[in-house]
Structure formats: C-alpha cells, structure tokens
Structure 1
C-alpha cells in the first residue's frame, strides 16, 4: 500500500525526475478516467519507493491548492476550466512539459514558504516576503533586512559575528567601531565569504551562487576566499572560489531601504524579477517584451499599483490569471 502522507518528512523533497514521473501518472489517469488497470499500475509505482509516494502526494496537494486558489478568485472558474480543457487537448509530451513547469514552480513556492516560516521563527532577526525592517544591535551596529532575509548573531567574548543566512542586508557600523581600537572586531559572514568592515556602511546580497558586496562608505576587507580590500563606491562578487569586481548595476543597490526601486535603463524582465522578490506568487513577462527598457523611481509598498503604472510608459498590458500569477504582455 502507498505510504501514508502523514508519515512523510515535511521537509523532504523528491528528485525532479520523480516529480515529473508523478505528473506523468497524473496525466495518464486524468486522460483515462475509470481505467482500473492503470490505477493499479500507478499504485504499484507509488509503493515502489518512498520518493514516489512523496512526489505523488506533493503533486496531488499542489493540484488541490491551485484549484482552491483559482476557484476562490471571482471570475477565475472560467479560466480554470479553460486551462483544464487545454491540458486535456494537448498531446502527452506538450501537456507533460506544461504541467511540469507549473507543478515544479508551485513546489518551489511551497518549499520557499515553508523555509521562510521556519527561518522567521528560528533566526535571530528575519523578514518575510515583502517586509523590510531595521534593527539596532547592542554594540551600536545598525542592520537593515530586505525582503525574505534572515541573520543570526554570534556575539561572544572572542568575536562579534553577524551571519547572513538568507537574502540581503545593509550594515552600518556603530558603537565601538567608531571609537578606539577594541579586541572584538565586527565580522559579517555570508555563504560565500567573511567580511570585516571599518567605519563602513555596506550592502550584502546573497544569491544562490555568489554574494554581492557594495560599499557605500568606509572600507570592508574580504577575508575569504581571498583577502581583498573594498573601498567606498566599489562592488565585488564573491563565490566559493574567487573575488572579482562586480559589473555595474542598472538600479540603485540600496534604494530598497527607503521602500524604492530606482532603475536606470533596466530590462523589463530583470525589473520584474526584482519586483517579484517583494510579492507572493509568480510574476513574469512575455519574451517579446522582456528586453524593453525602463528608468524611474518605483515605490514598493503596493506592487500591484507599481505594475499598474507600467503600461503608462511601456507598450504592455498586465494580465492577472490569478492574484498570484501575473504576466505582462505586449499591448495589442
């Protein structure tokens, strides 16, 4: 018999290949309703390995959640039925590609939601999606956390260490850092390196494969993976193997602390990826408008209002499939 989903580890994640197999079974069963032989084959596949059952439960749960969210939005019933009929009419290869993308995207959002909740409760300081907060530390250091970010403190008699575990932070040195020498230097750590500021204000943004350091005042010494001194106005990218100068940004790196995105000839696709950090759900644009450019100052407190003003300056229209699934398309 299939494994009871209540016994599955909440934080386990099946391989993507197995998730796609589960989607494949879902498609076959949906296209062959009432086929008892196929149902038994699916049950056998689920029983072969706990990853199979976990993937099946995740796909089924996500399908139910998406269905509930779509049905809970006024007017979305027609859109949902259209999507259902479209999937039924696709050949198996194209339908598998479509549903794989949707389910894997949803799984990522689901896992991110669980991760955010856990980190918010377990971290010393944390923010959720769309939230920005500032904190004054006991030694006078000021930290600002951007959306979906978290840090832990390790202050002992030997060290003062701020660990950036997720997201983006602005650190402004204070207290002992502004006065006489002391025996506990302040250090900040990301997944990719360790940084020691001296009377500095700087930004750390941690991505999957690297961390971007931007110094706005003072100087910061990068201790690992190789020692480098970064001065005010300079930015570097740090990964596990090297430190290198960062290419110029097409936006103000620290404007988010004031609730703003300030762009300079920024690609629409990149702009939407940035805005998407501050809202729940899926935000994208069609490929034929992704390279459109925009410059300006945009407020972050209401991302729906922000999106609504884009058609005033660009030949695009904003389409809401649901509250959580928004696409910008070329205006016709």
Structure 2
C-alpha cells in the first residue's frame, strides 16, 4: 500500500460535513454553557480524527474573527446576542442558519473574504466556483454538484428530500429499499418539487426559473401542476422550464446537459456568447465577447479543468483573439 495514501494530510481543508459537525458542537456548547458532560463529548469527537480537530480550530478561528469585526459595528453586539438568545429556542439546523446571518453585520472587507465560505459550511453539500463534487447518499442515491452550488438533505422514515439552494445538481436514484414503505425521492427548488423515478436528471436554477433535464428514466413535476391538476411526467431526453406558476417543455439545448459531471462542456452549434456565459460559471472575474462575434457558432468537446487552456483553443477554430486585461478580466474580439 502506498504510504502517502494512509498518511494524514494535515494541511488540506477539512471535509465540509466535518466542518458542519464542528459548527454544531460550537452551537451546542454555547447554548449549554457549563455542561461538563457535553464538553467531554466534544473533546472525544475532536480527538477521534485529525480532521475533526482541524475543523474545530477553523470554526473557532472564524467565530473569533467574526466577533472581532463586530466590535467595530455600532449595535452589532446587541444584535448578535439577540440572535444567540433566539437560537436557543431553535433546532441546531435553524440556529446554524440564523447565526450565519449575523455575518451580514460584519465589515465589507471581511464579508468579501469569507461570506461564500460560510454559506458553503451552512449547506449539507456545497461547491466553490470551478469545483465539482460527487456524493453517495445513505439510500444509494448519487448526488453530483456543479460549480458554485449548494444543496440540503432531509432524509427521514417518511421521506427523502434534496433541496437545491444554489447552482446545479445531477441526481441518479432508484427505488427505496431501506424501509418497508418506500419513500419517493424528491428534489425541491424555489420553483417546484420533482420526483425521480429510477432516473438520472439535472436540476439547475436559472434566475426566475428552474430547468429540469432528464437523461434516463422519468421525473414527475409535482408543483406547479399541469392544467388538469396532475403532475407533468418528464421523459428521458426532455427538458422543462419551471416557474412559480407553470411548467413548460423547453426546446432542445445546444449542449450536453450532464457533461459537466465528467468535467466537460460538449457543444453542438452553440453561440459563442452563450458558450462564454457557460464557461464563466467555472472561473472568477469577467469573461465576455464583443457583440460582433457573439453569434459565431462552435461545436466540440472542451475540458473544464483549466479554463485558460480552454479559452486558448478558441482562436484556433474561430476568427477571434483573446484580450486579457488581468487574469480575471478576459474579452474576446474579432481577429484583425
């Protein structure tokens, strides 16, 4: 066995689920001050694995930095104390999300540095810009998150629910074999609720609507319902756009909806302007093009691992040139 594979990597970031556990311990200890048994349990958890201690130190550091920054904001300490008092009457999940809102009172510089990271910690599953992750859920369902995405999990004896808070996910699910009464696998966005039936499907938040694309099996759209009051059944190969009031079939896309799970963008006669908007989701800063070349078309398979290398390919196939003002400001223009 390779020694590197079993040696702890103390300098890597702890897993986000471990960080959530650390935050939960912090909340429990703050809401049960003087509980020596709880303190001992926390110490046992910290000592159980090096990632536990690393996550604990990271959360403690972030909490201390937040408190220090709030000292400079008039009235912020009173507001934070009110939030903490309210959190004692809530469950840990609600308390966690409530206390995370206290960061909105921090300084602009601090928020710019750490708000995204805190949002990732408060979700059950999350990715940063340019990151993609895959998870195996307790029932065997496979959940994959695209760039800059967040989702929460609510599994109970009565239901299996995945809530998409931000970005895009791919779900591969089958029948529920863990309980006597099978539970439907539901995915919820702010626009509707969808049931996967032995299916693989992609759910993506797009401004004022949610896009549902089914690649295998079928998915029932429970809300909003169709005109007849029945769920809309989406078959493999179909896409729907769902708003708060309606669900309507979408025209065929000019790219493979699930290729991102393999680290790819696969296009079919796609507008350059639309292609750049898609690539921009995987990098920081500005990426765009002049209006005179936005309607150029391209087809191909592009790797997302390094978007700078991806962009460098475009002048080889299209009459365009790249103009870098900085590493984070890139514009495409017509080649002279």
The aligned residue for residue 16 of structure 1 is none
1:174 to partner: Cα distance: 3.5
TM-score, normalization by structure 1: 0.65
Alignment partner, residue 313 of structure 1 = 317
Equivalence map 1:207-286=2 (5 Å): 207-226=206-225, 227-286=231-290
Q: Does 1:125 align with 2:129?
A: no
Secondary structure of residue in 2 paired with 1:288: helix
SS in structure 1 of the partner of residue 176 of structure 2: helix
Q: Which runs of 4+ in 1 moved over 4 A?
A: none
In 2, are the aligned partners of 1:150 and 1:164 still within 8 Å (CA)? Answer: yes
Number of residue pairs matched? 233
Alpha-carbon deviations, 1:243-294, whole Å to 9, x = none? 0001111111111011110111111110000000000111011111111111
Deviation string, structure 1 residues 153-174 (Cα, Å, up to 9, x no partner): 0112221110011111110003
Matches of 2:256 and 2:280 in 1, distance apart? Answer: 17
**Separation of aligned partners in 1, 2:180 and 2:275:** 43
Identify unmatched segments of 5+ residues in structure 2. 1-69, 77-103, 226-230
3-state SS, counterpart of residue 176 of structure 1: coil
Aligned to 1:153: 153
8 A Cα contact 1:141 1:175, kept in partner: no
Distance 1:263 1:130 in 2: 19
Alpha-carbon shift at residue 116 of structure 1 (Å): 3.0
Indicate the SS of the match to 2:273.
Answer: helix
Task: Tell me by how many angstroms 1:207 deviates.
Answer: 1.4
Following superposition, the deviation at residue 191 of structure 1 comes to 1.1
Report SS of the residue matched to 2:281: helix
The CA deviation string for residues 167-222 of structure 1, in whole angstroms up to 9 with x for no partner, is 11110003626x99834221110111001111111111111111111111111111
Could you tell me how far apart the structure 1 residues matched to 2:123 and 2:116 are? 10
How many angstroms apart in 2 are the aligned matches of 1:115 and 1:124?
16
Q: Which residue of 2 aligns with 1:64?
A: none
Alignment check: 8 A CA contact 1:139 1:175 kept: no
Whether the 8 Å contact between 2:175 and 2:182 is mirrored in structure 1 is: no
Q: Confirm or deny that 1:7 pairs with 2:73.
A: yes
**Structure 1: stretches of 5+ with no match in the other structure:** 11-53, 62-109
CA distance, structure 2, for counterparts of residue 298 and residue 292 of structure 1: 17
Structure 1 distance, partners of 2:335, 2:326, is 19
Query: How far, CA to CA, are the matches of 2:245 and 2:197 in structure 1?
Result: 24
Measured at CA, do residues 244 and 310 of structure 1 come closer, stay the same or move farther in structure 2, by a change above 3 Å? same
Contact 2:163/2:188 (8 A) holds in 1 = yes
